[in-house]
Structure 1
């Protein structure tokens, strides 16, 4: 069985990046901390740290151990707080992975119902590339993944796609560019600088087809997997960019960009992906049921 005292020492060193600083915080000698970590590494059969100059860096095994240790001690803290407060019903942990292609405001709209349940819920969100999120889902480190595309069968991950809704796509730009390209839209975009979704973003292929249907190829000046980064470039006036039509008011307020026109045949879909065929987690159910009544379904 793992020695959790040794794991706790490792976790503290991993957080501060220094045996000396961890020893000061724990009121122990550096030799004690170092010895305990060496014993932990020996019991696990792998190095958790490597020394780079005077610094300690986590190995790949160390990074995995840090993540797992974080969860272990977080659960321990929750247990302690629950017992001290005499809480009858412990806090429900809801871990969600959000694809970086999903706009933050839409992720909020989809997930907000989870934190309005009668029972206390702690929502823990992670943003990452879809492949990494699907891998975390496969080993049950996530309860749900919010994505703009379904789980690909070729990944070999056992999971189920639950459609949350869809909405149309529009094109935006800062006022100077919007005024220039709004007249004669969509043909006006023929030579316009365009900020395009990246190869991993589900919107890319249908948006490219839409341009082809208009008889032109977009003059792409940048490609972005991260929708927030693309909007930041758009806000700076680097080019025309696409985003869900339901975000028009938000894009005007936050990014100073105006609507140019709608890409009529392009829609983006959103999915909740879980390891459950039949949803049972209370927070997942709340997300799914609220999405059916949300503006995503109404803005088709």
Structure 2
């Protein structure tokens, strides 16, 4: 088993760039630090430092050990902070990743229960590509990720996905574009300019297949990773665009657009993805509570 005291000494020396500087910072004798690192190397059966002139440099194994040590001691600091926050009723940090294909208003609806706890929560939201967010989730830089798909099977991340809500899809258009369409839905969509979610959006291919099944061929004039940007182009009358029926009224008000026809026979789902040992966070539990899952448009 790893001696974490020895690992901590190695971590300090690696960050300081040498034993002498680490000795000055820690107040420990250089001989003590050298002995601790030698003991760690012996227990691991690997050399962690090599001499380069008058300085120490990490070996390839040393770099690997340092990466793990950074994470171990960062999580340890988080643990101390979490316990201290609970003990003193201070604000609890809640780090959330939101996949860039998730509409902002749906992200807010799903995260809202975390802001209604008796405990004070300070939420930190970061938007990015799903795979990058899952990478940070795996090393515990995030507590939860919101996405439009469950955890991809090809990713070597131990976690769980929970469906929070699902919604049918509707199509929207600025009023001047909507007025050019006939009443024969969906045939009226043939050759109409279309704004399409980007390749990462789970709903993209089902939407294209829906057009094929209904024998209509809209003209794709734009593709967007950011759903809010797609809606802004739609507001400008550049093309029709899809959005979940769950937020249809809000989309119509905010972007001054109209719903076209009736909701499509397509469902879009949104998930909370967590790593197992993080499921005790009170904000995560509030978001994933059974009563929060009973939402469908």
- After TM superposition, the score normalised by the length of structure 1 is 0.70
- Residues 137 and 264 (structure 1 numbering): CA distance in 2 closer, same or farther, change over 3 Å? same
* Superposition map of 1:98-117 within 5 A: 98-117=98-117
Shift of 1:182: 5.2
1:154 aligns with 2:164: no
Residue 183 of structure 1 aligns to a residue in which SS?
Answer: coil
Q: Which residue of 1 aligns with 2:45?
A: none
Residue 273 of structure 1 aligns to a residue in which SS?
Answer: strand
- Residues 255 and 272 (structure 1 numbering): CA distance in 2 closer, same or farther, change over 3 Å? same
- Residues 280 and 160 (structure 1 numbering): CA distance in 2 closer, same or farther, change over 3 Å? same
Contact 2:235–2:257, Cα closer than 8 Å, also in 1: yes
Residue 101 of structure 1 aligns to a residue in which SS?
Answer: coil
Residue 181 of structure 1 aligns to a residue in which SS?
Answer: coil
Contact 2:168–2:245, Cα closer than 8 Å, also in 1: yes
Shift of 1:45: 5.7
Tell me the alpha carbon deviations over residues 81-132 of structure 1, each in whole angstroms, 9 at most, x when there is no partner.
Answer: x79xx97234222111001111111100110110111111111111001110
1:175 aligns with 2:175: yes
Shift of 1:217: 2.7
- Residues 115 and 44 (structure 1 numbering): CA distance in 2 closer, same or farther, change over 3 Å? farther
- Superposition RMSD in Å: 3.1
Contact 1:171–1:241, Cα closer than 8 Å, also in 2: yes
Tell me the alpha carbon deviations over residues 67-89 of structure 1, each in whole angstroms, 9 at most, x when there is no partner.
Answer: x9xx89x97xx79xx79xx9723
- Residues 149 and 43 (structure 1 numbering): CA distance in 2 closer, same or farther, change over 3 Å? farther
1:228 aligns with 2:238: no
Q: Which residue of 2 aligns with 1:2?
A: 12
Contact 2:231–2:255, Cα closer than 8 Å, also in 1: yes
* Superposition map of 1:261-300 within 5 A: 261-276=261-276, 279-289=279-289, 290-293=291-294, 297-299=295-297
- Structure 1: 5+ residue runs without aligned partners? 8-41, 47-63
CA distance in structure 1 between the aligned counterparts of 2:122 and 2:182, rounded to whole angstroms: 45
Paired positions, count: 234
CA distance in structure 1 between the aligned counterparts of 2:165 and 2:90, rounded to whole angstroms: 32
Residue 151 of structure 2 aligns to a residue in which SS?
Answer: coil
CA distance in structure 2 between the aligned counterparts of 1:249 and 1:197, rounded to whole angstroms: 20
- After TM superposition, the score normalised by the length of structure 2 is 0.71
Q: Which residue of 2 aligns with 1:35?
A: none
* Superposition map of 1:25-64 within 5 A: none
CA distance in structure 1 between the aligned counterparts of 2:277 and 2:262, rounded to whole angstroms: 35
- Structure 2: 5+ residue runs without aligned partners? 1-10, 18-54, 60-66
- Runs of 4+, deviation exceeding 6 Å: none
CA distance in structure 2 between the aligned counterparts of 1:96 and 1:182, rounded to whole angstroms: 43
Shift of 1:262: 3.2
